[in-house]
Structure 1
Amino acid sequence: MQQVLITGGTGSVAGAIVERLLADPAVERIVIYSRDEHKQGDMMQRVAQSGTPFDFFLGDICDEEALFRALAGIDTVIHTAAMRLVPHAEANPAECHRINVGGANALTRAVGRSDVSKVVAISSDKAVAPSTIYGTTKFAMERILVDADKRQNARYSLVRYANVIDTRSSVAPLFLKQKESGVLTITDPDMTRFSIAKRDGVDLVMTAVNDGLGGDIFMPISPSYRVGDMAEAIAPEAEHRIIGSRPGEKMHEIMFSMVESPQVVKRGANYVFLPRTGRWDVEPYCEQTGATKLETLFEYGSGDNDDWLSVEDIRRVLRDEGMIA
Structure 2
Amino acid sequence: MFAAYRTHLLIVLDLSAVVLSLAVSFWMQYANPWNEPYPGLWLVYTVTAGVIGLICMLRMKLHRRIWQYAGVSEMLSIIAAALWTGIVPFLLTNAIYGWDVPMLLLLHHLTGMIFMMAGPRLLWRAFCDKFGTRRRTGRHRALIIGAGSCGTLIAKELLQNDAAQFVPVGFIDDDPYKTKLTIYELPVYGGRHDITRIAESERIDEIIIAMPSVSKSQISAIINICKQTKARLKIVPDLQELIQGRSTVNRVRDVSVEDLLGRDPIRTDLDNIANYVEGKTVLITGAGGSIGSELCRQIAPFDPKRLLLLGHGENSIYTIEMELRATFPELVIETVIADVQDRKRMEDVFKKFHPQVVFHAAAHKHVPLMERNPSEAIKNNVFGTRNVAECADQFAAERFVLISTDKAVNPTSIMGTTKRIAEMFIQSLDKHSRTKFVAVRFGNVLGSRGSVIPRFKDQIEKGGPVTVTHPEMVRYFMTIPEAVQLVIQAGAFASGGEVFILDMGKPVKIYDLAADLIRLSGYEPNVDMDIQFSGIREGEKLFEELLTNEEGLSSTKHDRIFIGKPTQINRSELEFEIRKLEQVLGQQPEQIRALLKHLVPTYSNVS
Tell me whether the two structures share a fold, i.e. TM-score over 0.5.
yes
**Which of residues 242, 247, 253 is equivalent to 2:538?**
247
Of 568, 577, 584, the match for 1:277: 568
1:6 to 2:295 alignment? no
Deviations 1:113-166 (A, max 9, x none): 203110001111111111110011001000000111111111101100111122
User: In 2, distance between residues paired with 1:59 and 1:203?
Assistant: 26
Q: Offset at 1:188?
A: 1.6
Query: How many angstroms apart in 2 are the aligned matches of 1:169 and 1:200?
Result: 19
Structure 1 match to 2:216: none
Among residues 164, 179, 198, which one is paired with 2:480 in the alignment?
198
Q: Distance in 2 between matches of 1:127 and 1:110?
A: 24
In structure 2, the residue matched to 1:310 is: none
Which residue does the alignment assign to 1:121? Answer: 402
**Residue 16 of structure 2 corresponds to residue 16 of structure 1:** no
The within-5 A match list for 1:1-325 is 1=277, 2-25=280-303, 27-49=304-326, 50=328, 51-71=330-350, 72-181=353-462, 182-223=464-505, 224-236=507-519, 237=523, 238-257=529-548, 259-261=549-551, 263-267=552-556, 268-269=558-559, 270-277=561-568
2-structure distance, mates of 1:39, 1:56: 11
Look at both structures and tell me which one has the larger radius of gyration over its CA atoms: 2
Query: Distance between the aligned counterparts of 1:193 and 1:11, measured in 2?
Result: 21
In structure 2, what is the Cα distance between the partners aligned to 1:30 and 1:118? 15
Q: Check whether the contact 1:204–1:218 (CA below 8 A) recurs between aligned residues.
A: no
- Give the Cα–Cα distance (whole angstroms) in 2 for the partners of residues 227 and 38 of structure 1: 32
CA contact (8 A) 1:29 1:53 kept: yes
Q: 2:310 and 2:347 mapped to 1: Cα distance?
A: 11
The residue type equivalent to 1:145 in the other structure is I
Q: Can you give the 5+ residue segments of structure 2 that lack an aligned partner in the other structure?
A: 1-276, 524-528, 571-607
Letter in 1 for 2:476: F
More helix by share: 2
Q: Which runs of 4+ in 1 moved over 4 A?
A: none
1:255 partner SS: coil
SS in structure 2 of the partner of residue 196 of structure 1:
strand
Moved more, 115-124 or 59-68: 59-68
CA contact (8 A) 1:68 1:111 kept: no
What's the offset of the Cα at 1:200? Answer: 2.0
Contact 1:164 1:201 (8 Å CA) reproduced: yes
In 2, distance between residues paired with 1:183 and 1:171?
14
The two structures have a TM-score, normalised by structure 2, of: 0.44
Tell me the SS of whatever aligns to 1:235: helix
1:276 is displaced (CA, Å) by 2.1
- Deviation per CA, 1:43-87, whole angstroms, max 9, x where unpaired? 232222322110011111022221122222311000000011111
Could you list the per-position Cα deviations for residues 185-227 of structure 1 after superposition, in whole angstroms to 9, with x for gaps in the alignment? 0112321111211122112211222111110111112222111
- Give how far 1:278 is off: 6.5
Q: CA RMSD in A?
A: 1.6
Counterpart secondary structure, 1:87:
helix
Q: Distance in 1 between matches of 2:314 and 2:480?
A: 24
TM-score (norm 1): 0.81
How far apart, CA to CA, are the structure 2 residues paired with 1:35 and 1:209? 24
Deviation at 1:42, TM superposition (A): 2.0
Aligned residue-pair number: 276
Cα deviation, 1:250-275, whole Å, max 9, x if unaligned, reads 10111114x134x3212232221122
Deviation at 1:169, TM superposition (A): 4.2
8 Å contact from structure 1 (residues 101, 140) kept in 2: yes
User: What is the rounded CA distance, in whole Å, between the counterparts of 2:459 and 2:513 in structure 1?
Assistant: 13
CA contact (8 A) 2:443 2:504 kept: no
Letter in 1 for 2:490: A
More strand by share: 1
Contact 2:357 2:399 in 1 (8 A): yes
Separation (CA, whole Å) in 2 of partners of 1:65 and 1:92: 24
Higher relative contact order (CA 8 A, sep 6+): 1
Q: Whole-Å Cα distance in 2 between the matches of residues 37 and 246 of structure 1?
A: 31
Deviates more, 1:267-276 or 1:111-120: 267-276
Contact 2:550 2:567 in 1 (8 A): no
Pick closer, same or farther for the CA change 1:43–1:199 going to 2, 3 Å. closer
C-alpha contact (below 8 Å) 1:3/1:76 kept by paired residues = yes
Distance (Å, rounded) in 1 between the aligned partners of 2:494 and 2:294 = 20
Q: Return the letter of the residue paired with 1:107.
A: V
Query: 1:135 & 1:217 partners in 2: Cα distance?
Result: 15
CA distance in 1 between counterparts of 2:449 and 2:472 reads: 21
Provide the rounded CA distance (Å) in 1 between the counterparts of 2:377 and 2:345. Answer: 20
